[in-house]
Amino acid sequence: MAIAAGIGFLLGKRSASKAELTDLPNKLEEVVPSSESEALIDSGFNELGEGNSRRAFLDFQKAQEGQQSLPGIDYLVGYSALQAGEVSLAKDSLQHAITKKEMEDESKVLLALIALSESEKTKNDSKQITDPLVTAESELRHYATTHPMSAQIYSKWAEIHRQRGSYRTAANFYHKAFLRADPDDNLSLLAAKETLTQLQNQPAKEATSLATITAMNGEAALGAALACLQNKSPSDAVLFLERAKEYFSPRIFWEIMKDNAFDEYRSDAKLSKFLESTCPHPSKP
């Protein structure tokens, strides 16, 4: 009887385990943006980059209406709404993102910063149960801990202290942001890489004339340098690179010169000499 009871218990336990597995929800299929949604999202980011927050908000909102299940779309609507000054709409969208558990940490940070900003405007009119500054710093600290490579969060944290005159603390947070900054996130670096890649795809038919060098910005000078290298004019290429160097920080320029667009030309004596005098480790990938 004891043995039978034991076997019955084990079989019952196994059946219960199978039932639990059966009751687990099926894994949700990954939702990818449709071509229309992707175009709207790209347009929204472009508008943000150009400072057109309201247009960005409208683009993200259209993408949301067309594909409500798209991950992260509520956060994008909330973020752009906040940038456009639509605070109420921003809070609603960010709360919705938290409910869906999509970009939850990012949404909590923005909501905490909104609450902090609102408390500053009404600090003489009402008493807060919790200190909005403490709440904001708590969310910032949580995000920094769970996203250790994020530079932006320390920049936001620095601004809070800077606005309150805590310049030493703010400077410390800016330093943390600097240490964590990814060169690939630099807009000038991305624009430079786009220019170089376009020339790799469609090489220049002739070298760029030096007569135009004084009117060039850094990105244009880089393109001219590669065009000269593609047309066997390394001396002119070095002059264009000297021009480009004036527009980028040493760190970013070093990253640009490591780009594979220059790989096939590194053996050229003139370019090699320039790289040795400019970059600490020009040959490293």
Q: Where do runs of H (alpha helix) occur along 147-233?
A: 152-163, 167-180, 187-201, 218-230
Report the pLDDT averaged over residues 145-170: 92
Residue among 209, 225, 201 nearest 278 (CA): 225
CATH number corresponding to 36-102:
1.25.40.10
Count CB atoms within 10 A of the CB of residue 217. 13
CATH number corresponding to 109-120+130-181:
1.25.40
pLDDT digits (tens, 9 = 90+) for 35-50: 999 999 999 999 998 8
Residue 106 to residues 31, 65, 83, 153, Cα–Cα distance (Å): 20, 22, 15, 10
Are the C-beta atoms of residues 225 and 248 closer than 8 Å to each other?
A: no
Query: If pLDDT is split at 50, 70 and 90, which confidence band does 284 have?
Result: very low
Q: Check pLDDT > 80 for residue 13.
A: no
Query: If pLDDT is split at 50, 70 and 90, which confidence band does 183 have?
Result: confident
Query: If pLDDT is split at 50, 70 and 90, which confidence band does 188 have?
Result: confident
Residue 280 to residues 174, 250, 251, 253, 283, Cα–Cα distance (Å): 25, 10, 10, 11, 9
Count of helices and strands (H, E) across the chain = 14, 0
pLDDT at 18: 47
Output the six-digit token pair for 14: 């196994």
pLDDT digits (tens, 9 = 90+) for 199-236: 999 999 999 999 999 999 999 999 999 999 999 999 99
**pTM, whole model, 2 decimals?**
0.69
Residue among 105, 23, 49 nearest 72 (CA): 105
Domains of the chain by residue range: 36-102, 109-120+130-181, 185-278
Does the fold of domain 109-120+130-181 match that of domain 36-102? yes
User: Any idea which residue has 């996203």 for tokens?
Assistant: 147
